[in-house]
Chains A and B, each alone.
Chain A
Amino acid sequence: MEKLKQRYRYSFILLKQLVKTDFKLRYQNSVLGYLWSLLRPLALFVIMYIVFVRFLKVNYQVPHSAVYLLVGLVIWNYFGEVTSGSIGAIVGRGDLLRKLNFPKYTIVLAGSVSALINLAINLVVVSIFMVVQHVDVGINIIYVPLLILELFVFSIALAFFLSALFVRFRDVNYIWEVIMQAAFYATPIFYPLVAVPASHHLRQIVMLNPVAQIIQDIRFSLVTDHTPTIASVYGSGWVRAIPIATTVLLAVIAGSYFRSRSRYFAEEI
C-alpha cells in the first residue's frame, strides 16, 4: 500500500492541481462563475422542455417527464464534456509535454474528474427537481453510482483514445463533432424510446449504445420504473452485459493505445 502510494504520489499531486486549475480557469472573468456549470444544462433543458413537451407535445408516456428529460440531458452533457473536451487536451498541453516528463494520463483524467464534479453539481439540481415534482425514490437508486461508474469508464476510455489519436490526426475533432451530433439524435434523450419504430429491431440496436443504456437505466432507477431499459427491450437482464463488455473492452484497448502512444507525444505534437 505504501509502495503504491509512493508510486502514484506524483500523479495524484499533479491530478489535484490540474483539476483545481481547470476549475479556476474555466469560468474566469465571468460574472456568474461556477454557476454557469449549472446554468448551461438548465438553459438547454428549458429550451428542450418548451420545444418538445410544450410545443411538439411529445408524450414520454412516463410520469415526471420534465425530470425525465433533465436526467437524460445531464448525462449526455457529461459524456459530451468529457469526450469533446478531451480531444485537444494533450495537444493543448504540448508546451508542458516538451519540457517535462510526467504521467500523461493525468491530463485526460483531470478533464474527466472536473467533468465528474460538474455532473455531481448537476445531479444536485436534478434531485431538487425531483423533490419539487414529488418523485418517489425507490430502492433502485442504489444502482445509480454503478451506472455513473460505467459512464465514467466509457467516457474516459473514449477520451484516452481520441486525445491520443488527435496528436497524429487533426481531423479527429471534426469527425467527432459529426459523430456526437448523430449520436445525440440516436440516443433517446429528448424523445422517448417508444417513439423509435419497433420494426427491424431498431429499439434493440439503439439500446446497444452504452450511453443510451446508461441514460435509460438511470432514469429507471431514479425517476420511474416505467422507463424501457435494455433489459425490458430484450426481455432479459443479461443483455446489459453487452454495453458493459463493450465499455470494458474499449477501456482496455484505448488505455493500451494511449499508453503506447504517450511515450511519443512530446515529439509528435
Chain B
Amino acid sequence: MDDVAIKVDGVYKTFKLPHERAGSFKNIFTHVFSFARKKRVYDTQHALSNVTFEIKKGEFFGIVGRNGSGKSTLLKMLAGIYQPNKGSITVNGRLVPFIELGVGFNAELTGRENVYLNGALIGFNKAEIDAMYQEIVDFAELEKFMDQKLKNYSSGMQVRLAFSLAIRADADILLVDEVLAVGDADFQRKCFDYFRTLKRNKKTVVFVSHDMNAIREYCDNAIMIEKSEIVASGKPEKIATKYAKLFMDQARSQTEDEAGVSSRWGTGAVKFTDIKVAVSEELITIDLKAVANETVENSNFGFSVKDATGQTLLGINSQIKRKKIDTLTAGTKVDLTWQFPNVLKDGDYFVDLAVIDKDGEVWDWWEEAKVFRVLKEERTPYPISPAVDLKLTVRP
C-alpha cells in the first residue's frame, strides 16, 4: 500500500441537472405546495460509474477519452474539487492540480502581486516566493513587465507567467489537464522539457490529454474513459491505439452516411462500376472496374487519395503513366489495378476516381468513391510512415 499514490475504488459520480433553475425560494414554495403531484425536477447525468484504478508512486499516468466522457470530472475528483457519490478516493502525498494555468490570476493586480497570490494558492508563503521570485521572472522573460497590471499582458505573457509559477509547485503528485495544449511551439517545448524533468525526478503525474503522441511518449500506464466508464487500461501504446480506433469508427460511420451523397458527375460515356481497396503493411492496391457505354477514344483514367482533413496526398492518371487507351467500343469492360507503397500514417483515407477524355471532357468523376483505413504495426507521429529498414550491428 505504501507504493500507491492514488487509489480510486468503485467511484460513482452523478450530476443533477435541474430542468429549470430551482435555486430560488419561489420554486421551493411552489414545490412544497405542489407535493401532491411531485415531479422530478432533475435530470441525473452519470458522469462516472464504477471507476476503479490505482496509480503507483512515481508513475506517469495518462487519462484519455473524448470530450464529455468524464475524464475532467475524474481529474477534479482526484483533486478533491468534486466529491464522489459512492466509492472512495485515497490520495497519498501532497497533491497540486493544474486544471488550468494561472488559477486565481487577477487582471487588476500587477504581475508581481499575482505571483504572490498564485504562489499562495499552490502553497508558498511570502518568504518562499521571495526566494524564488527572480527565477520565476527570468524563466517567464517578463522582467520589465512585473509592475504592470495583468490586464495589460498579452495572453502569451500571462501563460508564460502562470507556467513559470506552476513548475515551481512542490508536490508529490501533480494533476495536469490539457493546459499544455495552449501556447506556441516554443512554449510547448518548454512544457515537454518540464515533463521530462518530472519523469526524471520520479514525480507522480496524472496527465489528461488528447495528444496520443504525448501519452505514448511520457506515460507508463493509461486508462481510457468512454461514456463514463473505464473501457481500457494498460500500456499507453495499447490505449493510444484504442483511442485512435474510437475516432476512426466515428469518422467511418460519418463518411458512410455521406457516401450516398458523395458527389459524382460526368456524361457517363465511360463509367466506373466497382472499386476495391486492399491495404497491407507495405502496399495499397486499388482494383477498379469500368465499362464504356459509348464508343470513345483516348480515355484517361486517374485517381487520387486524400486524408480525413480533405488534403489530397497523392494521385496519378494513365496519361502520366503513358498507358495509351486508343478506342473503347460500347460495351467494352476495363479492369485497372493501381498499386503503391503504403507510406500513409494511421488514419482514414478517401479515394477519388476520374475518367476523362484527352480534351478534359468528364465522363465520370466520382469523389470519395471509397474510404479505407490504415493501421500500422510500426507507428510514428510523422506525416508519412514508409517502411524503413533497420540494420543494426552492435560491436564490442
Contact = CB atoms under 8 A, between A and B. Distances in A.
A226 interface: no
A201 interface: no
A99 interface: yes
Interface string B54-91: 00000000000000000000001001111100000000
Main secondary structure of the interface of A (DSSP, over half): helix
B108 interface: yes
A99 B103 contact: yes
B80 A101 contact: yes
A17 B23 contact: no
A111 to B, nearest CB: 16
A99 B72 CA distance: 11
Interface string A4-21: 000001100110111011
Contacts of B34: none
B81 A266 contact: yes
Nearest to B83: A263
B99 interface: yes
B82 A17 contact: no
A13 B129 CA distance: 11
Contact of A21 (B15, B23, B81, B106): B106
A98 B81 contact: yes
Interface string A154-166: 0000000000000
Given A13-B125, A266-B76, A100 B81 contact: yes
Contacts of B79: 100-101
Interface residues of A, number: 29
Contacts of B23: 168-170
Interface string B120-163: 11011110000000000000000000000000000000000000
A254 B214 CA distance: 47
B234 to A, nearest CB: 29
A266 B82 contact: yes
Interface stretch (B109-117, B184-192, B222-230, B251-259): B109-117
B120 A100 contact: no
B236 to A, nearest CB: 26
Contacts of B250: none
A20 B125 CA distance: 13
Given A99-B97, A267-B15, A10 B83 contact: no
A264 interface: yes
Question: Which among A98, A99, A101, A264 has the highest number of chain B CB atoms within 10 Å?
Answer: A99
Contacts of B125: 9, 13, 16
A24 B15 contact: no
A136 interface: no
B81 A97 contact: yes
A25 interface: yes
A24 B120 contact: no
A169 B113 CA distance: 34
B261 to A, nearest CB: 43
Contacts of A176: none
A60 B80 CA distance: 56
A100 B103 contact: yes
Nearest to A166: B23
B24 A100 contact: no
Contacts of B116: 17, 20
Closest 10 pairs (CB-CB, A-B): A101-B80, A17-B120, A99-B99, A99-B103, A13-B125, A266-B81, A171-B25, A13-B120, A101-B81, A263-B83
26 contacts: A9-B123, A10-B123, A14-B120, A17-B120, A17-B121, A20-B117, A21-B106, A24-B113, A25-B106, A25-B109, A28-B108, A96-B104, A98-B81, A99-B97, A100-B79, A100-B99, A100-B104, A101-B79, A101-B81, A168-B23, A169-B24, A169-B25, A170-B24, A171-B25, A171-B26, A267-B82
